Structure 1
């Protein structure tokens, strides 16, 4: 069974757009007919960027800085005249040591990149999303469901995404939907290099399809959910 989506006339902002998942989400919305605006602290012309510049309108910004976030969101609204969907993809992973050996700089980086970016982007996008009765989709993680060894700050930051999602859903009930996805381990070159992982890897393109589902009219009644995306059933 296949599914297709028509986002013609809709405008989406994707954060963390230059990475493997962000670029896949941009491509999926572009294929579905949306006008895609993308933002990242990485420049689109950088060797580290995986984003196709022909698919998006790009706005460079540091989403841990509220001033940058406000400028990016207003630039999208001014350019497109509306904002229908926010995809909070910006994130990172760090870890490998227990809490008593973890530096505060690592803790702060994970909270800033994984949680603060989603908080700030949601905060400034909400006035525009309320006008269009839009949707927010953020990225949590399966690891956020329980404690584990060696990556406590990462798990805490991703658990924060789930609670932020539930709060956004509750505060905007009937106006703006908010959901999140919980990948197991995303299949990226960086993750393959860093991790010895024996379970199912999840293709970024497959996760991007779930973003489309959660922003579509097919999930109109769904808000405040954390959706598992663990690989093949």
Structure 2
């Protein structure tokens, strides 16, 4: 078993989007363990049967549809009013659709992937930036290995995840020396949904969400103070 890194985020405030999902909830717990005040944001309430989020000491839930700019602006204002600052932004909200070639893909599917995977990250970053600039904070978003190249059957998903990488590089360039922006690129994450979708796959090669959350914490820590604009592979053996 690999050793666990330790971080000290006492006195900082972290926003985690997609907080009710497997990776989002792991990120919430990682930053809470490190001492951050964690603002968990999702359209799925913690009480929902599909939610993996545990709200307890140091974790505050904010319900919002982050594809709606007015809702994003409201949540960012509430977090800033409630906690006085924003130091870390983890853009985890996302979803997957695939299985069809472009000529067979419905526009509704493309729009869903655009809104959930890319628009959420863009809008939350846009409205959190003023606070992150004040704190000289960090953004970590979730791209994907499949966003590095085209592929048959899940093109719109790949396109949105490629967009996360370009958004990250843009944020890094526009905020040089002030706010660091990086992204992680998973391959297959070991989640209940993925196990259900791929029951016969070799689950041992998949990456545990907590391991990816560790990398996200590293990218928000002083250990990577000189790193911005990076797309970090978190493939494991997948």
Q: Determine if the TM-score, normalized by the shorter chain, exceeds 0.5.
A: yes
Q: Give the drift of 1:74.
A: 0.7
Q: Give the drift of 1:2.
A: 4.3
Equivalent pairs, count? 233
Residue equivalent to 1:97: 100
**What is the DSSP-based 3-state SS (H/G/I as helix, E as strand, rest coil) of the residue aligned with 1:160?**
helix
Match of 1:6 among 5, 8, 15: 8
**What is the DSSP-based 3-state SS (H/G/I as helix, E as strand, rest coil) of the residue aligned with 1:185?**
coil
1:171 and 2:189 correspond:
no
Residue equivalent to 2:34: 32
Deviates more, 1:43-52 or 1:125-134: 43-52
**What is the DSSP-based 3-state SS (H/G/I as helix, E as strand, rest coil) of the residue aligned with 1:156?**
helix
Q: For 1:47 and 1:2, locate their aligned partners in 2 and report how far apart those are by CA, in whole Å.
A: 30
Q: For 2:202 and 2:33, locate their aligned partners in 1 and report how far apart those are by CA, in whole Å.
A: 32
**What is the DSSP-based 3-state SS (H/G/I as helix, E as strand, rest coil) of the residue aligned with 2:16?**
strand
Residue equivalent to 1:214: 219
Q: For 2:201 and 2:89, locate their aligned partners in 1 and report how far apart those are by CA, in whole Å.
A: 30
Relative to the length of structure 1, the TM-score reads 0.97
**Structure 1: any 5+ residue segments left out of the alignment?**
none
Residue equivalent to 1:106: 109
Q: Give the drift of 1:198.
A: 4.4
Residue equivalent to 2:162: 159
For 1:1-233, what aligned pairs fall within 5 Å after superposition? 1-55=3-57, 56-195=59-198, 197-198=201-202, 200-232=205-237
Q: Give the drift of 1:3.
A: 2.1
**Structure 2: any 5+ residue segments left out of the alignment?**
none
Q: For 2:189 and 2:217, locate their aligned partners in 1 and report how far apart those are by CA, in whole Å.
A: 17
Q: For 1:74 and 1:185, locate their aligned partners in 2 and report how far apart those are by CA, in whole Å.
A: 34
Is the contact between residue 5 and residue 214 of structure 2 (CA under 8 Å) also seen in structure 1?
A: no
Is the contact between residue 142 and residue 184 of structure 2 (CA under 8 Å) also seen in structure 1?
A: yes
